[in-house]
Structure 1
Amino acid sequence: MLEKSYFLLSLLQAGLAQEWEANTPREVVAQEGSCAQIPCRYSYPSHLANLPPVGIWFNNEDQRTLPTVFHSKDHSRELARFRHRTQLSGDLKDGDCSLIINNITQEDAGSYYFRVEFVNVNSYSYRPATQLHVSDFKDKPTIFPEEIIAGKRVNLSCTFNTTCNGTAPVLTWDTPTAIPGSVSNTVTQHGVTLIYTSVLSLIPSPRHQGKTLTCRVSYPTVSSEQIFVLTVQYSPWNLTITFLRVVEDSLINSTDRNSKMIICSVESFPASNLTWSHLHVIMNRTSSNNELWLKLPYATYRKTGDYQCVAENEHGAVEGSITITVDRHAFGEWKAGLFGAGIALSVGLSAFFIFRCMRTARNTGRDHSAQTKHVGRDSPEEQLDKSRQKDNKGQEIKSKLNSYVEEDLYENCKCDQGPVYGNV
């Protein structure tokens, strides 16, 4: 009898040596529609280690009502609004009593505590209780940006983190039909955090620039999304040269003496460096700008030829050109008209000078004839005197005639070297 009493006392002391303990947080915050988890670790006296524990979670600290949230042995004891929504995340035999509540509602807010029962032996309720707060669903997935280059495959990652190992969130991508791609999903764990990842793999092109991608996380009753705008880097393309209108044949044929402006524009990202050149001489340039103007003076032969526009950025380059020509037919008519006017003017001046010279000579001859007419018959001495006077007069007239020709004709013909011929 004494030995039996001693044995019972030893068991009681052993039980007291291993206390009833639990480790639970004072507060937990969950978002409506998602999953909530109340972490819990517990211990009990070692002499009960071989007995199956029964785990129970209650939603109210009032011992009189005992609204059951979860019952590991008999789910029929659970309140209807919690049934099929609650579970344990671990094994009671391993000391894990963590509670999971799926599809959280505002009504789920309140205090929760855990109780363990050993059939026909012992039971224990662990305090203090944990206060559960329920907020609106605000969490969004995260998209990690990558350098996006046209023609190169890129993997865009969208992730969502949670510490609740209940109903899993679902990640999906919404993409325009013009952007085909493939999607792969994975789940990893880092400590108590579960990381859900969805990877969208695609090959972008310049036409995808500015397109919107959406990554959405969904629970049974709630969802949220993150928007991502594609910024595609690509080499210059679609180079256009404009001269009052789009130049379709890359040719300007003009005799307009007014200056003109032509513009070179291109599509690229990042913006290109543009250069206008003519006969390998740079006429104008700009940096990080997808358009460049060039002022053209009126058309001359020295300004005709090809004008090149080159656009380049770190991904490539593109070149375009335009040909400036002079309308040779119109230019020839203008030149012929000027040349003909010069000839007509020179011929007219020459005729005028010759007419003047001839008129002067004619007048001189008339004076000579009037002076040599006979009036009666002169004596031999008079005839000799008149003959001498005639010779002297002839010499004088000849001298004057020569003087007129030199002074008038040749002097006025100096206009041959003047501006008329010089401009022809």
Structure 2
Amino acid sequence: MKMDDQSLMAALSENVLTVNMLLIVFFLPGVLADCGDLKPALFITTPKKIEALNGSCLHIPCSFNTKEKSFNSSRTIYGIWMKHKASFGNPASSIFNSSGSVNTYSLNITGNLREKNCITLFPDLKTNYTDKYFFRVENGPFRATACADPLQITVKDSPWSPSINISGGDLKEHQSVTITCSALTPCPHSPPELTWNLQQDSHRQTEKNTDGTFTTKIQENITLSDTHDGYNIRCSARYPVNGGNKTAETAVTLSVSYAPRNTSASISPSGLVSAGSWVELNCSSRAKPPASFTWFRNSKHGAINVSVGQVYSFNVTEGGEFYCVATNDLANETSSVILLNTKGNPVFVAIVVGVIWFICLVLSVWYFKSKCPTPQQTRVGYFSSSVCSKFLSAGL
């Protein structure tokens, strides 16, 4: 009797274990098998991580594939989304089943499951929807979860700042470039509105990316000039959400290279300059990158290179015409000519004046002596003897 009781208890324990296993398999068919150590039977192609905006929708690009022969697209196919990874004692939380049995978040698979397309739309996300999600397919005897391809969804309260892209690399004057402002668009059904301080009628377009996500952008083609250097481009993205809008802005400052502009030369001191004194010639120009300067002097043989550098200082020996040339990698520009006028040295001038005065005096004495008659000369045309006597008495 005792042996029979032991046999009965063993049989009951075995039956209970069998029933439990059957219940697990019934309620979670295939989950434990393909989320364990075995090779997954289902794979999906979708971004590993997707960000969404609180109060907006989310488009999930998704396609699936399997090498299992038990999958038959002619049979009814159900797509299921679950939160968390299923494991023994910790089953996944199903939030959607295309059969209509579960739809916690009002999801909708817009893709054609028969074509292995599982594109899904979240209509209205909340921050507490942030989690890791798994996709599952049930197709008759084929039941598998894409455990190797989890999708991390992060729901943010703040929108993403748009990005500003400028074609062409290093920007230079006269260059035609395309300026693009683009914004992440997790909900293509309600794309963000983009505005900027360039042309206001720029056409907005929402484009599909290679990974199935979407981007909204506006573009403008412009030809650069020196006036664009330092120009601040601002672009804002306004996302429609339940209860209003959320806006983010980005600004980019243009850096444009241009040839020398407004090149001019100046002299200090100005006006007449005494020979032997120092003067300073200064060349200025607006250029990017900054210009280098070369000084020239005009001569009867042509222009002569006299100095390199923004400032040219020298001791004056004679006057002349000077000009400078500003040069950078793009071009060069020549200033107008400045005239250096000189005046004589005061000591030298005094000596010259003294010599001239002395020569004039000697000539005058000679002239008067030549005109004074001797006592024997009384002809008309000579000075009177009284004048000459006074002249001679003066010691001349």
Q: Pick from 257, 266, 271: which aligns with 2:290?
A: 271
2:177 equivalent to 1:154: yes
Deviation at 1:266, TM superposition (A): 0.7
2:266 maps to what in 1?
242
Distance 1:213 1:326 in 2: 50
Relative distance call for 1:26 and 1:110 in structure 2 (3 A) is farther
User: SS of the residue aligned with 1:57?
Assistant: strand
Q: Pick from 302, 319, 322: which aligns with 1:303?
A: 319
Distance 2:154 2:83 in 1: 14
> Match for 2:265: what amino acid?
I
Q: Mark the runs of 5 or more structure 2 residues left unpaired by the alignment.
A: 1-33, 35-39, 365-396
Q: Mark the runs of 5 or more structure 1 residues left unpaired by the alignment.
A: 1-18, 246-251, 287-291, 352-424
> Match for 1:317: what amino acid?
N
Deviation at 1:263, TM superposition (A): 0.9
Q: Pick from 332, 335, 338: which aligns with 1:317?
A: 332
- Normalization by structure 1: what TM-score? 0.54
Relative distance call for 1:88 and 1:242 in structure 2 (3 A) is farther
2:99 equivalent to 1:78: no
2:307 maps to what in 1?
284
Q: Pick from 79, 85, 94: which aligns with 2:115?
A: 94
User: SS of the residue aligned with 1:342?
Assistant: helix
1:25-52 alpha-carbon deviations (Å, 9 max, x no partner): 8994332428463745267998975565
Instruction: Compare CA radii of gyration and give the structure with the larger one.
Output: 1
Relative distance call for 1:216 and 1:71 in structure 2 (3 A) is farther
> Match for 1:151: what amino acid?
H
> Match for 2:116: what amino acid?
G
Higher relative contact order (CA 8 A, sep 6+): 2
Mapping 1:15-414, distance limit 5 Å? 22-24=42-44, 28-33=48-53, 35=58, 37=60, 39-41=62-64, 53=77, 55-59=79-83, 69-70=95-96, 72=98, 78-79=103-104, 82-83=105-106, 86-101=107-122, 104-114=125-135, 126-127=144-145, 130=150, 132-134=152-154, 141=163, 143-146=165-168, 147-157=170-180, 167=189, 170=192, 172=194, 174-175=196-197, 185=205, 187-190=207-210, 192=212, 198-214=218-234, 219-220=239-240, 227-244=251-268, 252-256=270-274, 258-279=277-298, 280-286=303-309, 292-298=310-316, 300=317, 302-304=318-320, 306-326=321-341, 338-344=351-357
Length, aligned pairs only: 308
Relative distance call for 1:47 and 1:54 in structure 2 (3 A) is closer
Distance 1:333 1:113 in 2: 101
Q: Check the 8 A contact 2:83/2:131 in 1, yes or no.
A: yes
Distance 1:334 1:237 in 2: 45
Q: Check the 8 A contact 1:236/1:316 in 2, yes or no.
A: yes
Q: Check the 8 A contact 2:51/2:154 in 1, yes or no.
A: yes
**RMSD of the alignment, in Å?**
5.1
1:201-260 alpha-carbon deviations (Å, 9 max, x no partner): 112221111212245566446666654332222222111323359xxxxxx421345312
Q: Check the 8 A contact 2:132/2:153 in 1, yes or no.
A: no
Identity rate, percent: 15
